[in-house]
Amino acid sequence: MSATARELMTKIEAKTAVIGIVGLGYVGLPLVKAIRDGGFPVIGFDVDQRKIDALKTGTRYILHLGYDFFTNLKADKQFTPTAHPADLSKADLVILCVPTPLGRHHEPDLTYVLESTKTVAQTLRKGQLVVLESTTYPGTTRDEMQPILDARGLKCGDEYFLAYSPEREDPGSIGRSAQHIPKLVGGVDPVATDLAMAFYSQVVKEAHRVSSAEVAESAKLLENIYRAVNIALVNEMKIVLTDMNIDVWEVIAAASTKPFGFQPFYPGPGLGGHCIPIDPFYLTWKAREVGRTTRFIELAGEINTSMPHYVIERTQHALNEHSKSLKGATVLALGIAYKKNIDDPRESPSAEIIELLRDRGAEVSYHDPHLPVFPSMRKHRIDLKSVALTPATLAAADCVLILTDHDAVDYTAIAQHAKLVVDTRNAMTRVPSNQMRCEVIKA
What positions carry a catalytic annotation? 275
The maximal CA–CA distance of the chain, rounded, in angstroms, is 79
Amino acid letter, 383: D
Q: How far apart are CA 35 and CA 31, in angstroms?
A: 6
Torsion, CA 396, CA 402, CA 406, CA 412, rounded to 10: 50
Q: How many CB atoms lie within 10 A of CB 432?
A: 9
Q: How many CB atoms lie within 10 A of CB 182?
A: 11
Q: How far apart are CA 17 and CA 10, in angstroms?
A: 9
DSSP letter assigned to residue 293: -
Q: How far apart are CA 101 and CA 39, in angstroms?
A: 32
Residue 20 C-alpha from the chain's centroid: 22
3-state DSSP call for residue 100?
coil
Distances (CA, A) of 422 to 101, 249, 384: 31, 15, 21
DSSP letter assigned to residue 108: B
Residues β-bridged to residue 440: 421
Q: How far apart are CA 402 and CA 371, in angstroms?
A: 15
Residue 85 C-alpha from the chain's centroid: 26
